Amino acid sequence: MKKVFIDGETGTTGLQVRERLVNHTGIEIISIDPAKKRDVDEKRRLMKEADVTVLCLPDDAAVDSVALAKEEGCRVLDASSVHRVANGWTYGLAEMASDQRDAIKDAQFVSNPGCYPTGIILLLKPLVEAGLLASDAHYSVNAISGYTGGGNKLIDQYENNANAPTYATYGLNFKHKHLPEIEKWSGLKQTPTFIPSVGSFAQGMLISIPVRLAEGNAPALHAALAETYAEEEFVTVHPFNEVNDPNAPFLTPHGLENTNQVELAVFASEDGKSAVLSAKLDNLGKGASGAAVQNLNLMLGFTEGLAVNL
Ligand SMILES: NC(=O)C1=CN([C@@H]2O[C@H](COP(=O)(O)OP(=O)(O)OC[C@H]3O[C@@H](n4cnc5c(N)ncnc54)[C@H](OP(=O)(O)O)[C@@H]3O)[C@@H](O)[C@H]2O)C=CC1
Ligand SMILES: CC(=O)N[C@@H](CCC(=O)OP(=O)(O)O)C(=O)O
C-alpha cells in the first residue's frame, strides 16, 4: 500500500480527495489528529511517512507546507494556486501534452490545475499549437462555476444566507488568480479577459470562449480538438454544433457532477466565422479532487482512473 497524507483534510477539496481515496485499493490515507492540524512537527512526521502529501490548503498555508516538504525531500501534490507557473513544478494536467504524464510520474512537485484553467487550456492549447488560433490574439473567456468553487466561506454564504445572489460575475479587477496559468499553459502571448461568475448551485462549471474566424474554418477547430483527445479517457469532444446536455437545447454547467470528465464542444454560425468553444466539467471533480486523485495515481504508479469519480 502507498501512503498519502492530506494536509487540509477537512476543507472542501481535502474532504473530496479523502472521499475518493477511501475507495482506492492501493492507497492508505494517513490522517493528522484534528487538534494538531496546524502543528508543524506533526505535519513533518506525516510528510516523511507518506509517499505523497496532498496540500488542500489556502495559498499562504501551502507555501509553509512546501517549505517543510523541501526540507525533508518529500513529494507533494499541491491543490493551491501558488505553484502552477512556478519553476521546479510540473503542471498536473495529464491531457495537455503527450509527455505530460511521464513528467507527472517522475516529479517531486506537482501542481494541481485550477478548475477554470482545466477547461480553458484543454480548449485553447491544441488550437494555438496547430496555428488555428493566433497565439498573439486577444481572447475573452466567460465562465460560470458552482459555489463550492469558493471553498468553505462561499459555501457558507450560499447555504446559510438567503441573500446569496442567484448569479454574479466577479474577478472584475482583471487580476483573477487563474490568469497566469491560463496564459502560460494555453501558449497565449496576451493576457485574456476572463469573466468568471458564480451561480446558486453547488457543483458544475461551464466555460465559453467566443472566437471570430476570418477563414470560416470552425469545423477545422472542432476536428483538431476531436483528434487531439480521441484517445483520452476523461475528455470527450461532442459532435460539431451538437448540444449534449441533460437540459438540451440549453447548454448548462450540469451533468458531470462527481465525475472526472470534461466535455468539449464547438458551435459555429453557418459561415463558420463566428464560433464558441465550450468546456463543461465539475469544479470539484476534474476541476479539483478528481484531477488530484488522477495525479496521485500517476505519481504512485497506479492505473490513472482508479477512484477518480465519486
Ligand atoms: N474549492 C475548489 O473548487 C478548489 C479549491 N482549490 C484549492 O484548494 C485549496 C483549498 O481550497 P478549499 O478546499 O476550497 O478551501 P476550504 O476553505 O474549504 O478549506 C481549507 C482547509 O484548510 C484548513 N487550513 C487552513 N490553514 C491550515 C493550516 N495552516 N494547516 C492545516 N490546515 C489548514 C482549513 O481549516 P479551518 O477551516 O480550520 O481554517 C480548511 O479545512 C485552495 O488553495 C484552493 O485554491 C483547488 C481547486 C478547486
Ligand atoms: C466560484 C469561485 O470562487 N471559484 C474560485 C476558483 C476555484 C478553483 O478551483 O480555483 P483554485 O483551484 O485555484 O482554488 C475562484 O474563482 O477563485
Question: So what's the ipTM on this one?
Answer: 0.94
Contacts of 296 (CB under 8 A, 6+ apart): 4, 21, 27, 52, 54, 77, 302
Binned at pLDDT 50, 70 and 90, residue 69 comes out as very high
CA–CA separation, 261 vs 255, rounded Å?
Answer: 10
Select from 96, 120, 287, 145 the least CA-distant residue to 210: 120
Bridge pairing between strands 205-212 and 140-146: antiparallel
In the residue annotation, 74 being an active-site residue is answered as no
| Structure confidence by residue, pLDDT tens digits, 245-285 | 999 999 999 999 999 999 999 999 999 999 999 999 999 99
* CATH superfamily of this structure's domain 115-284: Dihydrodipicolinate Reductase; domain 2 (3.30.360.10)
What is the β-pairing status of strands 274-281 and 262-268?
antiparallel
**CA–CA separation, 83 and 163 (whole Å):** 35
Which position has the grid cell 494538531? Answer: 36
- Ligand that comes closest to the CA of residue 198: 2
Which of 17, 55, 94, 115 is the catalytic position? 115
Element (DSSP H or E) covering residue 159: helix 151-160
Rounded to two decimals, what is the model's pTM? 0.97
Ligand 2: which of 178, 182, 284 to mutate, most ligand atoms within 8 Å of CB? 178
Percentage with pLDDT > 70 across the chain: 100
Question: Given a cut of 90, is residue 12 above it in pLDDT?
Answer: no
- Residues forming CATH 3.30.360.10 domain(s) in the chain: 115-284
Instruction: Please give the pLDDT value at position 162.
Output: 85
Return the amino acid letter for 259.
Answer: T
Ligand (nearest to CA of 182): 2
Compute the distance from residue 15 Cα to the ligand 1 centre, in Å: 10
Residue 168 predicted with pLDDT over 90:
yes
CATH of 2-113+287-300, one of 3.40.50.620, 3.40.50.720, 3.20.20.10, 3.40.50.20: 3.40.50.720
- Residue 56 burial by CB count (10 A; 0-12/13-18/19+): exposed, middle or buried? buried
* Mean pLDDT across the chain: 97
Measured CA to CA, the distance from residue 302 to residue 310 in angstroms comes to 18
Place of cell 485574456: 192
Q: What is the pLDDT of residues 141-163, one digit of tens each?
A: 999 999 999 999 999 999 998 88
pLDDT band at 49 (very low <50, low <70, confident <90, very high): very high
Residue ranges matching CATH 3.40.50.720 in the chain: 2-113+287-300
Q: Is residue 179 scored above 90 in pLDDT?
A: yes
Q: What is the DSSP string of 62-124?
A: HHHHHHHHHHHT--EEE-SSTTTT-TT-EE--GGGSTTHHHHHHH-SEEEPPPHHHHHHHHHH
For ligand 1, mutation pick of 144, 152, 178, 283 (most atoms within 8 Å of CB): 152
pLDDT tens, 199-217?
Answer: 999 999 999 999 999 999 9
